[in-house]
Structure 1
Amino acid sequence: MPEQMEQQRGLLLLFLGVQLLLVGMFLYQNHRGQGFTSFLRFLIQAKPEEAEGLPFLAQVASAGLPSWDVYSNLSQIHPMDLSDEDLPNCPAISPYINGPLKVMIPENLTMEQVVEKNPLVELGGQYWPPDCWTHHHTAVVVPYYGQARHLQHLLFHLHPFLQRQQLHYGIYVVNQVNSTAFNRGKLRNVGFWEAMQDEDWDCVFFHDVNLLPEDDRNLYICDIFPAHVAVAIDKFNYKLPYRGYLGGVFALRPIHYLRINGFPSTHWVWQKGGDRHHLSGMPLLRPHLLFGRYHMLEEGPDPSQEQSPPSPGLQALIRHKWRPNGTDLLDYRLLSKELQPLYTNLTVDISPSVPG
């Protein structure tokens, strides 16, 4: 009998310990201004199959909710006649978030029309919520290699998407002008360092130019670990094209970026260097499939698409060379830095590193 009571007491203590851990995780998430929704995603983000047993997530499934125009509700945002110090804090969950979004690009869209649709975006592509004080500061880095229509469509869709989340954000387009192959890794490194010289960003999203988010509950803020965000792309039937896929969109805090030493500079687009997050002692987070949904633009050639897994030999090469091949060997010439109405354009000349 005493032995049975001791066993029951042990189980009770274990149960209470788990409860305290969950409460602590919730308080931490809530302290960071993400609220209960983010906490719930945090619990299940690596286990999409468990969503079926959660009534809340069953209710927010994209198939069961209407889709919204990405510009809906934004006309309600107006500057307040208050100093920055007197602005109220933004709420933990933005009132402008609706859920699933329609991807609707007008025919014959011009950049002037995109500017007109986004009057609160400042020169250089930065935006601050005009009616509240936000604690989230996100830079979006877009490697670019002449996909003009893709960029125009991304800006048309991404600006209102980010404004709905009440973020302070800035968009940086890193434009490669030399005739060598498209080097996404080096362009990401350039974008990171140039962006960090402008602002003390606490989060950096590295974003392919041909992906448009389909749900504004996919928050563009960073967590305690790196996050691969584009987990459900329509072209791949809203699932990962292969195990270990890290393409599309993912987020790093500056400390994460420094820890992984940036992105491989000697691995070009056909070599698909991107497994680094598993090599630096940090787990990789992913949003739930209900939230991390994207539409892929397909018109015209796009050198940024990654659809096939890297070979085992290449994976071994990346693991062997990942430390010295990132920011340690970053070399580029910044030809110009232009503050466009919707983004900061970084025109760079990069030279391919010679594998050795």
Structure 2
Amino acid sequence: MYIRIYQRKYHLIEITTKFTCALALIYICLPHRFASHYNYLSLKQIENALVSQVTHNITLQHLDECSYGDILAENRYMYRAQYREEILRSEEILSGGEYYPEKCRARFSTAIIVPYRQREEQLHSFLIYMHNYLRHQRIHYRIFLIEQYDQKPFNRAKLFNIGSNIAAEYGFPCLIFSDVDLLPLNLGSLYVCTQLPRHMCSALDMWRFNLPYTGLFGGVVSIRTEQFRVVNGMSNLYEGWGGEDDDFYERLQARNIDICRFSPELSEFTMLRHKPEEKNENRVALLRAGVLRHKMDGLNSLMYDEKERRIHNLKSDIGYDLSKVQNQENLKYPDDSKQLNCVHRLDLFDC
């Protein structure tokens, strides 16, 4: 009797263990089953939302316009070894990491801005894959590597601000801010601008293809140059990891500028392995006061020294020293009464 009961308990434990292991295996191997839901543009809405703007040199081409509907509809999986290991048809890429299709006239000109410091392995992988990937999208693009030379904590947002100014020198109407360790998996994630700023990597493998929260606006984002200037760019004060993306989102909200996303299937990205950046211990305090600084902290308060510009086959590399002092004490806030009135208003810039 005792032996039978013991055997039953043993079998129950064995079954429970196997069932738990099976669930864990499903969770590990099939993360898409658990993907969160969020509002996104349908294929028809995407085509209507795309902003057709190009640089002057592209307008001079006498070719039929390129089409993009088939790229979105097929959404071909691209993250294959053939695209990751070597650059195919490298002769198509112009000096400075620029490309435009020759068989049709691109409808979009995009500056891809990548903040960088001492990530050689990730940069190598990024450049190879992205040039192979982007040329299949039939767009005009140029990759700008904005490199921080000094040894202060990495200031990602400030490098984006600088990159936007450089891109404006070349007349690019569309900006894509991309971390060097994020790569798109499928071709349907068009590297172009939409009417609203777009969060492009909403289905990231590191998050098990979930969107952690709807206000997330970092990693890889697209925004029109004119919109970026309207919100005074990003904050220059976030040194180290964290906070700058949320601050940027709040800037957009303060200007009543919403964001959009494509479907999870069109927004799948992978993250390359890397050593995490040092966290910004002041990020929470900076974020809490961010709404009061938007007008004074950004493109109009940039301080930096440009060290050199190098034009490579695969990229335009611009190096900067950001060690000039730039802190909250340098910013003049409105008087207290106006601060209190502005904190809870969306028309902050009219305060």
TM-score, length-scaled by structure 2:
0.71
Asked if the contact 1:271–1:314 (Cα under 8 Å) also holds between the matched residues in 2, the reply is no
Partner SS, residue 154 of structure 1: helix
Asked if the contact 2:84–2:128 (Cα under 8 Å) also holds between the matched residues in 1, the reply is no
Partner SS, residue 164 of structure 1: helix
The aligned counterpart of 2:53 is: none
Correspondence 1:124-203 to 2 at 5 A: 124-198=96-170, 200-203=171-174
Q: Does 1:287 align with 2:262?
A: yes
Note the C-alpha offset of 1:268. 2.0
The count of corresponding residues between Structure 1 and Structure 2 is 273
Q: Does 1:334 align with 2:306?
A: yes
Match of 1:231 among 202, 206, 211: 202
Give the Cα separation in 2 of the matches to 1:125 and 1:87: 23
For structure 1, the 5+ residue unaligned runs are 1-35, 44-83
Asked if the contact 1:97–1:216 (Cα under 8 Å) also holds between the matched residues in 2, the reply is no
Asked if the contact 2:79–2:186 (Cα under 8 Å) also holds between the matched residues in 1, the reply is no
Match of 1:103 among 79, 83, 106: 79
Note the C-alpha offset of 1:259. 0.7
Q: Deviations over 1:143-181 (max 9, x none)?
A: 001111111111111112211110010000001010000
Change (3 A) 1:87 1:348: same
Q: Does 1:259 align with 2:218?
A: no
Note the C-alpha offset of 1:94. 5.4
Asked if the contact 1:213–1:293 (Cα under 8 Å) also holds between the matched residues in 2, the reply is yes
Partner SS, residue 91 of structure 2: coil
Which letter does structure 1 place at the counterpart of 2:321?
D
Percentage of matched positions with identical amino acids: 24
The aligned counterpart of 1:122 is: 94
Note the C-alpha offset of 1:226. 1.2
Give the Cα separation in 2 of the matches to 1:144 and 1:328: 22
For structure 2, the 5+ residue unaligned runs are 1-41, 50-59, 330-351
Shifted more, 172-181 versus 326-335: the winner is 326-335
Match of 1:208 among 167, 174, 179: 179
Runs of 4+ more than 3 Å apart: 40-43, 94-98, 104-109
Q: Deviations over 1:59-82 (max 9, x none)?
A: xxxxxxxxxxxxxxxxxxxxxxxx
Asked if the contact 1:273–1:318 (Cα under 8 Å) also holds between the matched residues in 2, the reply is no
The aligned counterpart of 2:271 is: 296
The aligned counterpart of 1:91 is: 67
The aligned counterpart of 1:220 is: 191
Correspondence 1:338-353 to 2 at 5 A: 338-351=310-323, 352-353=325-326
Partner SS, residue 269 of structure 2: strand
Q: Does 1:37 align with 2:43?
A: yes
Change (3 A) 1:261 1:133: same
TM-score, length-scaled by structure 1:
0.70
Note the C-alpha offset of 1:271. 4.2
Asked if the contact 1:334–1:349 (Cα under 8 Å) also holds between the matched residues in 2, the reply is yes
